[in-house]
Structure 1
Amino acid sequence: MVRARAIVPAVEGVELQQRMPIPLYDGKRAGKGRAWARARQVSWQMASQTCFCVSGTSFMSSSVPQLKNFLSHVHLLTYWLMFHFQEPLSAALSALTLLVQFNGWLSFFLLLSYKLPLRPETHATYYEYTGLWHINALLAMNSWFWCAIYHSCDTAWTEKLYLSSAAAFLGYSLILAILRTSNLRDEASRVMVAAPILAFVTTHILYLNFYELDKGLNMKVCTVISVAQLLLWTVWAAITRHPSRLKVIFVAIGGVLSLYLEAHDVPPRWGYVDGHAICLAMAIPLSYLWWSFAKEDAEMRTAAIMKKKR
């Protein structure tokens, strides 16, 4: 079955006395040869025939410009739902990003395990941040997995898992950013950096799951964490001569654009593409660039250590 969903945010001083009817279509009506029927998008023609009563003023079909202005303020969001997928484009983009993350991690693992030299006494890698990147990959894939599930089926538990996994991934990404940009290698320094961040992120996740699912608070926390790590990577790329510093800068720019789109309410286009979907699309090339940087960073650090040993 294919359904269309309209989301109308609350606007201060505006009372919506009649909701716009959203047609529901059964796939059987489309004929035996079709597996699904496309839901018609709510158009301005439908809106112009619907009566809205706002603050005592009626907007009838003769007041189409005023009606359009009203709808531009309340941001009538229309989505097409296919095969029980509530946001098919967002779910597909999340799944693609998950595949890119897995491919990036696999190529990173193969590079370090079979192509770069290993320590003869322990058969461990020379790259000091190998374990950190492996944990980052697991958290990233977990986050994107639940992102795809959440956009496919929006329920209370999928939403909690989606928000919790995203917060855990972002929190750990901040730890990785601090450790790598500060070039911390000894375990004591790493524990001192990671412990307070892990405690804060864990407390935040427990608050969301067992006290109140405050999306506004979660957005603020994730935004602050994201901005902090983007600043760290940008400054590090600007002051170092790392061969992949341009990739880091491109990823930082893409991250800033994603934060801007997430923070601003972008109305959807063509029933599918809204600001969040654009962010998910941007995550695909950014994930590829990020793992490319990780591999080149491992190659550079391994070459530098081998050169010192000689």
Structure 2
Amino acid sequence: MFPVRTSLFLLPLLLLLLSAVNVHSSQGDKEPVYRDCVKQCVRTNCTGARLRGFESRQPPYMALTGWRCGDDCRYQCMWTTVGLYQAEGYRIPQFHGKWPFARFLCFEEPVSALASLLNGVACLLMMLRYRGTVPRQSPMYPTITAFSLVSLNAWFWSTVFHTRDTYLTEKMDYFCASAVILYSIYLCCVRTLGLKRPVVSSLVGALLILVFTAHVSYLTFVSFDYGYNMAANATIGIVNLLWWLCWCWQNRRTLPYWWKCGVVVLLLHGLALLELLDFPPLLWALDAHAVWHLSTVPVHFLFYSFLIDDSLHLLNTEKIGVKLE
């Protein structure tokens, strides 16, 4: 139990510290007008007295979140380029792999950052409710607690990434999200097989650590391929979806709360399809990714309601000596 959780926390960070920076470009930042604008801005404002003036005027929260003079130049030149595209009637371009967002204070993507924070808060509240409702003696207690910590870690990095996009925060966001998906399979395995066959869950846990290590290593040292990352997570997610749905179907007549699990897994995978919309942000703030994160906030409450019901059921059946499902 503990080695699985520890590895999913530490492996991404350890691998990132050993890796090199990889830069991705998009249509907007390829434009000569954008590049010339950035060069001119940096040359004019980011050296000597002008740089010192910029740093003296910069709010502390901007400096603390890593905004530098060059970053500000890229931000201003992005909007200059967007204005030219709009004036010519062209489609809004992406810059460095992202849509243009209106910065709020130090937040690059304010709505997505808020949505990630709300997901983290919902997860934390329901984890505390679970720990306050379910006795530690319940068979699933340690696994669900660990899953909650892995999820909180992922929402933390998601919030940080949408606040300030850097090489480290982007990779930690992606890798920790993958860790949640893989740990979801581990959680499913423990619930469906591991309670009766602990060796099976141990073997699956070890296999998932190897898969996670290979996944992170490839993206870190070989190629950070966004398409591959999405395909890999989608494949793992489908396995998780089908596994849980099969369990729900098998227990639909004996567990009155089975529907909560079925609704949660269908909602999570259905809502993920919002990512496919991928439209320029409305009011330069609300894009498909933000809508997706906002839509998942209520799901935490239903999911933990299922986990509480199921954990209490397992505890009661164990006390009276009934064979676990």
- TM-score under structure 2 length normalisation: 0.69
Q: How far apart are residue 251 of structure 1 and its match?
A: 1.3
SS of the residue 1:161 aligns to: helix
Q: How far apart are residue 98 of structure 1 and its match?
A: 0.7
Identity within the alignment, %: 25
What is the letter of the counterpart of residue 267 of structure 2? G
CA shift in 2, pair 1:295/1:18, >3 Å? same
Q: Give 1:192's aligned residue.
A: 203
Q: How far apart are residue 89 of structure 1 and its match?
A: 0.8
CA shift in 2, pair 1:17/1:50, >3 Å? farther
Q: How far apart are residue 96 of structure 1 and its match?
A: 1.0
Matches within 5 A, 1:128-143: 128-143=139-154
Contact 1:172 / 1:198 at 8 angstroms: preserved in 2?
Answer: no
Q: Give 1:50's aligned residue.
A: 87
CA shift in 2, pair 1:168/1:49, >3 Å? closer
Matches within 5 A, 1:239-250: 239-241=250-252, 242-250=255-263
Deviations along 1:71-110, one digit per CA (max 9) or x if unpaired, are 28x6894421011210011111111111111111111112
Given the alignment, which residue of 303, 307, 310 partners 2:320?
A: 307
Given the alignment, which residue of 92, 101, 112 partners 2:134?
A: 112
Q: How far apart are residue 192 of structure 1 and its match?
A: 2.0
Moved over 4 A (4+): 8-11, 15-19, 46-49
Gapped runs of 5+ residues in structure 1? 1-7, 22-38, 52-66, 114-123
Q: Give 1:206's aligned residue.
A: 217
Q: Distance in 2 between matches of 1:188 and 1:265?
A: 43
The answer to whether residue 317 in structure 2 is matched with residue 280 in structure 1 is: no
What is the letter of the counterpart of residue 190 of structure 1? S
Q: Give 1:91's aligned residue.
A: 113
Q: How far apart are residue 47 of structure 1 and its match?
A: 6.5
What is the letter of the counterpart of residue 271 of structure 2? S
Q: Give 1:148's aligned residue.
A: 159
Q: Give 1:71's aligned residue.
A: 91
Q: Give 1:167's aligned residue.
A: 178
The answer to whether residue 91 in structure 2 is matched with residue 80 in structure 1 is: no
Contact 2:127 / 2:148 at 8 angstroms: preserved in 1?
Answer: yes
What is the letter of the counterpart of residue 120 of structure 2? L
Q: Distance in 2 between matches of 1:144 and 1:78?
A: 22
SS of the residue 1:80 aligns to: coil
Q: Give 1:294's aligned residue.
A: 307
SS of the residue 2:102 aligns to: strand
Q: Which has the higher strand share?
A: 1
Matched residue pairs, number? Answer: 256
Q: Distance in 2 between matches of 1:47 and 1:219?
A: 32
Q: Give 2:279's aligned residue.
A: 266
Contact 2:274 / 2:288 at 8 angstroms: preserved in 1?
Answer: yes
Q: Distance in 2 between matches of 1:18 and 1:249?
A: 51
Higher relative contact order, structure no. (Cα contacts within 8 Å, ≥ 6 residues apart): 2
The answer to whether residue 221 in structure 2 is matched with residue 222 in structure 1 is: no
Shifted more, 144-153 versus 177-186: the winner is: 177-186
Q: Distance in 2 between matches of 1:230 and 1:267?
A: 30
Q: Distance in 2 between matches of 1:107 and 1:185?
A: 27
Deviations along 1:36-55, one digit per CA (max 9) or x if unpaired, are xxx9xx8xxx678723xxxx
CA shift in 2, pair 1:143/1:250, >3 Å? same
Q: Distance in 1 between matches of 2:113 and 2:180?
A: 19
Q: Distance in 1 between matches of 2:276 and 2:222?
A: 24
Q: Which has the higher helix share?
A: 2
Deviations along 1:179-235, one digit per CA (max 9) or x if unpaired, are 323464332121122222221112212222344322222111111111211122122
Q: Distance in 1 between matches of 2:134 and 2:123?
A: 17
Contact 1:104 / 1:288 at 8 angstroms: preserved in 2?
Answer: yes
Contact 1:230 / 1:255 at 8 angstroms: preserved in 2?
Answer: no
Contact 2:193 / 2:201 at 8 angstroms: preserved in 1?
Answer: no
Gapped runs of 5+ residues in structure 2? 1-24, 38-75
Q: How far apart are residue 252 of structure 1 and its match?
A: 2.0
Contact 1:254 / 1:282 at 8 angstroms: preserved in 2?
Answer: no
What is the letter of the counterpart of residue 169 of structure 1? V
What is the letter of the counterpart of residue 178 of structure 1? C
Q: Distance in 1 between matches of 2:85 and 2:183?
A: 49
What is the letter of the counterpart of residue 102 of structure 1? L
Q: Distance in 1 between matches of 2:258 and 2:279?
A: 31
Q: Distance in 2 between matches of 1:10 and 1:234?
A: 42
Q: Distance in 1 between matches of 2:115 and 2:264?
A: 18
Q: Distance in 1 between matches of 2:190 and 2:163?
A: 35
Shifted more, 170-179 versus 262-271: the winner is: 262-271
Q: Distance in 1 between matches of 2:86 and 2:312?
A: 64
Give the RMSD, CA atoms, in angstroms.
3.3
Shifted more, 289-298 versus 177-186: the winner is: 177-186
